Structures are given as structure tokens and as C-alpha cells.
Amino acid sequence: MTKIKKTTFNYIWEILKDYNDVDEHIKRRIEELRYPHRETDLNADIKGTKVRYDSQDIFLITIEQDARLAALERNKRIITETLEEFDQDTNMIIRELYMKKRPQYSIQGLISNHKIFIGRSKASDLRTAFFIELAKKFNLDY
């Protein structure tokens, strides 16, 4: 089985850890865009040229153009699609080891407790294949 770079593996692992909370992150980001924080202007009562230099008005980003929001939605879509492409054993391995906040099992624990019905080397190969597929979809060097 092909190996995957440790940095790529760790990067994907971080994305997977965040998967269950991504809907909340998306919701929070939309709220930030809809209702941007405005600093109070301490000099508002000073007479001037009536020119406004409100950077938030000038640089207001629409929800459709926001890069962070687009990245969150893209990550969620790619992971969901990839999970659907793989079998039940791979899904169990990925969800238990990489998506849970506090995993109960290791790969060997999944095998010993009959959560998956394959050997350790096959389980490692399935995990690696999943990570490689995600690396391809995220356009990462693996």
C-alpha cells in the first residue's frame, strides 16, 4: 500500500476532527458576515469633510465571496462524498479514530471488539486509502 506524507496525514486529520462541528462554524461565519462588528467612533462628533472612511463598508464581503466560508463548505462536501464512496469498515475506522472528540478504540480495539471484521493490516490499508483519496480531492501532495 502506498504511504502518505506525515504532514499531509496530520493536515487531513485536523480537518476530519473538525468535521462534526463544521455546521456550527459555517453558521457562526455567516453571522459574522451578516452582522460585522463595528468599532464606535470616538471622533464622531468632530466636524470634518463628511468623508466616511469606514473600512467595513468599503471591504464588506458577501457571503458568496467569503473564502473561509467557502473552504468550510468545500471541506464538508468533500469529506461527506468520500465517506459515501468507502465501505462500512473504512467509515467505522475513520469516524472512530479521526472524527470523534474522544475515541474509545484503536484499530486493534475495533478489531477485538468486533466493530470491524478485517485484519489489522487491511484496516491500515483502508485508512491509508481513505486519506490518499482525501489528499487527491484537496489537491495535496501525498
**Model pTM score:** 0.77
Question: What is the pLDDT, as a whole number, of residue 55?
Answer: 47
> If you compute the radius of gyration of the chain from its CA atoms, what whole number of angstroms results?
22
Cα separation, 132 vs 142, whole angstroms:
7
- What is the residue-level pLDDT of the chain in tens, covering all 142 positions? 678 999 999 999 999 999 999 999 999 988 887 777 666 666 666 665 555 545 455 445 566 678 888 899 999 999 999 999 999 999 999 999 999 999 999 999 999 999 999 999 999 999 999 999 999 999 999 9
Cell output for 119: 485484519
Residue 16 neighbours by CB under 8 Å, 6+ apart: 79, 94, 98, 99
Cα separation, 90 vs 123, whole angstroms:
7
Cα separation, 62 vs 83, whole angstroms:
31
Distance between the two ends of the chain, CA-based, in angstroms?
13
The DSSP 8-state label assigned to residue 65 in this structure reads G
Cα separation, 137 vs 8, whole angstroms:
12
